[in-house]
Amino acid sequence: MAKCSICGRKAIEKIEYARKYLCSKHYTEFIEEKVRRSIRRYGLIKKGSKILLAVSGGKDSIALLTILSKLSKEIHFKPYVLHIDLGIGKYSEVSRKIVEKAVQETNLPLIIIELKDLLGMSVLELAKKSGRPSCSVCGIVKRYLMNAVAIEMKADAVATGHNLDDIMTFILKEFLQQNLDGITKLVPRIDKINEAAAAKIRPLYEIFEKETLTYVLINNIEFVKEKCPEARTNTLNNVLKNHIHILEEKFPGIKYSFIRSFLRNIDKYPKLYMEKLMKCCICSLISSGTKCSYCKLTEKTHGEPLGMYTRNYIRKLLTGMDYQGY
């Protein structure tokens, strides 16, 4: 039985690319140190800042919540948790409960936006009524709400739980579709562009998917184990992620060296999207056209664009909580 390279106790995992075995205590520290280092290396979080954590309840966002909650005491920043209840039956109920429990344990402030309360419809009903695939509608709604909440509460950034495998999958997908412009967004930090778009950070940028899973498992942290019942299988994303997994197995370290050289090269890619960005004519939040996707979507489902209405809803939701006045 392999022993921990640090303390000699029973190892629970081999870190192939770092060539060491670790026990659960040192594995946990190893992952947290990696996140700490990414935060420092990419300048993700400053002292005194307000960070909105987008937490679905899956392994990645639960690991994000746990790790950033710990680090917030060292780096002295204020994490807030945002959970969006999509109204997908039992799946959403379970997810919400898990997030509520994690928040109780870490004692962080929680903002829940319930889609059925906000729009009178679940994400599936929105998809059905708009005639669009549910994953696409879900993406529009989540991205919009994350940004809108961050803007209304004047957060310094929205943090998401995307891991290295997610990022590399997105980069390869954009490359296969030759959307070079989209590639430039896949960095650890996208700065705040203007009043319409909050900064975005990805603190798990250098953490493997397998690592967030091991982290939550060995620390007995509850997370949503079920896949979303609406999730499609055999998408290009899934197939690519699987290929990346095989690549790393055959060439340990390839994910790391890829992402590092990618970031070194980032300025060589055309960055046209920055020029194309504008403010939505309805809600004034960020948009790639005159009207943003969320306003277009709600126009289809409700007969009128609900961006401004949604911003007011969020404002009211935040009133009386301690998110204002910073």
Q: Does 136 contact a copy of itself by CB under 8 A?
A: no
Which positions from 270 to 289 touch a copy of itself by CB under 8 A, shown as an x/- string?
Answer: x-------------------
Q: Does 316 contact a copy of itself by CB under 8 A?
A: no
Angstrom distance (rounded) from CA 64 to CA 261: 25
Angstrom distance (rounded) from CA 318 to CA 112: 10
Angstrom distance (rounded) from CA 80 to CA 54: 9
Least distance to a copy of itself from the beta carbon of 238, Å? Answer: 10
Least distance to a copy of itself from the beta carbon of 314, Å? Answer: 39
Least distance to a copy of itself from the beta carbon of 170, Å? Answer: 14
DSSP run (H or E) holding 287: strand 286-287
Angstrom distance (rounded) from CA 182 to CA 174: 6
Least distance to a copy of itself from the beta carbon of 240, Å? Answer: 8
Size of the site for a copy of itself (CB under 8 A): 23
Which positions from 221 to 250 touch a copy of itself by CB under 8 A, shown as an x/- string?
Answer: -------------x-x--x---x--xx--x
Q: Does 180 contact a copy of itself by CB under 8 A?
A: yes
Angstrom distance (rounded) from CA 139 to CA 160: 13
Residue 155: exposed, middle, or buried by beta-carbon count in 10 A (0-12, 13-18, 19+)? Answer: buried
Residue linked to tokens 């919540």: 65
Binding residues (CB under 8 A) for a copy of itself: these are 172, 175-178, 180, 234, 236, 239, 243, 246-247, 250-251, 254, 258, 261-262, 264-265, 268-270
